[in-house]
């Protein structure tokens, strides 16, 4: 995406959860007939608390474009699609699963355009 610098993706999972049971897949951004897929390359996790003082596992993921894996993806989402995400039908989904049950509190995609920081809420794809 021209002029867009993707920083990372951040997941928050409620409770004391072992990071090894959480399976994180690719992030798909889509609007109208356009699509952009990012793959997780690395993740870092630590236990902390949310604003209510409840324990959470926070996982930060580095992302990259992997055109070999996602050959059918047109990679045609634009910076305007991201900036207008509150007003268009931008769908942002991340596969999150695992062998045990856990509850995802929130997922955020962090990026900047022209030095201005933004974030988009991402839905959990089960």
Name the residue ranges covered by the structural domains of the chain: 4-125
Give the predicted TM-score (pTM) of the model.
Answer: 0.92
How much is the pLDDT for 53? 93
* pLDDT at res. 2: 87
The whole-angstrom distance between residue 98's C-alpha and the CA centroid of its chain comes to: 17
Q: Report the run of H or E that residue 59 belongs to, with start and end.
A: strand 55-64
Angle among Cα 85, 49, 13 to the nearest 5 degrees reads 55
Would you state the pLDDT for residue 85?
83
Q: Mean pLDDT per segment of 10 residues, for the chain of length 126 residues?
A: 94 95 96 95 95 95 96 95 88 93 96 95 91
The position carrying tokens 């039908």 is 89
């Amino acid at each position: 995406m021209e002029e867009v610098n993707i920083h990372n993706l951040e997941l928050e999972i409620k409770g004391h959860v072992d990071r090894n049971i959480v399976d994180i897949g690719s992030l798909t951004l889509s609007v109208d007939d356009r699509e952009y897929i990012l793959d997780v390359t690395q993740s870092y996790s630590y236990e902390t608390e949310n604003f209510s003082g409840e324990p959470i596992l926070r996982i930060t993921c580095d992302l990259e474009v992997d055109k070999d894996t996602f050959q059918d993806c047109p990679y045609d989402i634009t910076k305007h699609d991201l900036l207008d995400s509150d007003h268009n039908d931008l769908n942002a989904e991340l596969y999150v699963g695992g062998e045990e049950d856990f509850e995802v509190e929130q997922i955020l995609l962090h990026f900047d355009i022209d030095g201005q920081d933004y974030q988009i809420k991402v839905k959990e794809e089960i």
